Amino acid sequence: MNLVAIVGAALGFMVLVVLHELGHFTAAKAVGMRVERFALFFPPLLLRKKIGETEYALGSIPAGGYVKISGMSPDEDLPEDVRTRAYTAQPVWKRIVVIAAGPFVNFVLAFLLLLVLFAALGPETVTNRVGTLERGYPAAGVLKPGDRILSADGQRGEPERLSTAISDNRCATQPPRRGCAAARPVTLLVERGGERRTVEARPIYDPAAGRTRLGFSYAAGPRDPLPFGEAVAITADRFVLITWETIKLPLRLFDAEKRKQITGIVGSYEITRQTILDDAAEVVGILGVISLALAVINLFPFLPLDGGHIFWSLVEKVRRRPVPFSVMERAGVVGFMLVAVLFFIGLTNDIGRLTGEGFDVR
């Protein structure tokens, strides 16, 4: 593994975590709450240093971070001089501001990163040359990286048109099953080493893509920065699209094929690492997407997520009296189970990709 890529991916995740928690930390300080600890990563703690009333710490489990505010639990035994600054002693609006500050930072960061990608670096373009080949797909047996695809079944044009020509070769059985081969092979005219040759292969059905594929990516072309106005428009479009797809994430639990698409921390890290190796500029966009997904997932209305705290604060506002802690605890079990299931499925899928077909970073 490339050390620079490993360190770069780790630093990227650290920045996202630190900025998210910094949002909570800054808002808590601003509204007068007492912050006991600001930690990067989870315990057991490796390093800690107290400055003023706040302890700054580094944990040993690199799966996030946290800000510990006095009185997050009503059962906490706090000194008399601290109780008035405790989380539960604050009005609802202050609590919502503090909790929402973390996701808000991630939303802003995501928009800025995507804007930088489109306005300063330019979106990725593709050529009609073969980039990477996927294990277990027909392309690995007939194509080589660098091959230039001139036509597919006699059709010439841009990569999108070539891909459509390939996927027009459908499975004989309908509805198609995962891995079924097309009824007839696709004929490709390719240029390799200055010589033209014709190759044939039967595309196979990929339910995640919803079409038949040969299993290769097109090599990236030069980047061309977009005018600022156009960059803002496309950033807003991607922002809404990614947000909506992330909101639908829990629904994937009920679809066997879509469940296999869920990616966890390991997968996000590996995609970032591979992207650094293949195209460092694309890392800006990848981290933007991860930051946006982190913000949306954190706003799901389940404890222990930020959205769960906001939800119960709003319930308290409507009821005009505090919600019993026992009720929130029971609801928190449901939220924790959902988060645990998503984490487990994501981790299982990530391990399967690491040991199997790998991650398709394009």
Residues ≥6 apart with Cβ < 8 Å to 341 = 253
* CA angle 353–354–360, rounded 5-degree value: 55
Worst-scoring range by mean pLDDT, 20-24, 70-74, 201-205?
Answer: 70-74
Question: Residue 318 falls within a domain, yes or no?
Answer: no
Question: Residue 236 falls within a domain, yes or no?
Answer: no
Question: Residue 34 falls within a domain, yes or no?
Answer: no
Question: Residue 189 falls within a domain, yes or no?
Answer: yes
State the catalytic residue, choosing from 21, 80, 134, 257. 21
* Two structure tokens written together for 18: 């630190």
Worst-scoring range by mean pLDDT, 35-44, 133-142, 204-213, 328-337?
Answer: 328-337
pLDDT digits (tens, 9 = 90+) for 326-344: 787 777 777 777 777 766 6
Count of structural domains within the chain:
1
Question: What SS3 state is found at 279?
Answer: coil
Question: What SS3 state is found at 159?
Answer: helix
Question: Which phi and psi angles does 157 have, rounded to 5°?
Answer: 145, -160
DSSP-derived letter for residue 323 is P
Backbone dihedral region for residue 328 (phi beyond 0: left; psi -120 to 50: alpha; all else: beta): alpha
Question: Residue 166 falls within a domain, yes or no?
Answer: yes
**What gap in Å lies between CA 57 and CA 39, rounded to an integer?**
5
**What gap in Å lies between CA 177 and CA 204, rounded to an integer?**
9
The answer to whether 230 is a known catalytic residue is no
| The predicted structure's pLDDT at residue 359 | 44
**CATH classification at residue 206:** 2.30.42.10
DSSP-derived letter for residue 304 is T
Worst-scoring range by mean pLDDT, 43-52, 126-135, 144-153?
Answer: 126-135
**What gap in Å lies between CA 343 and CA 332, rounded to an integer?**
16
Question: Residue 167 falls within a domain, yes or no?
Answer: yes
Structural domain boundaries enclosing 145: 126-220
Question: Residue 133 falls within a domain, yes or no?
Answer: yes
- Confidence check: pLDDT of 54 > 90: yes
Question: Residue 42 falls within a domain, yes or no?
Answer: no
What is the average pLDDT value for the chain, to the nearest integer?
A: 82
**What gap in Å lies between CA 96 and CA 148, rounded to an integer?**
55
- Confidence check: pLDDT of 265 > 60: no
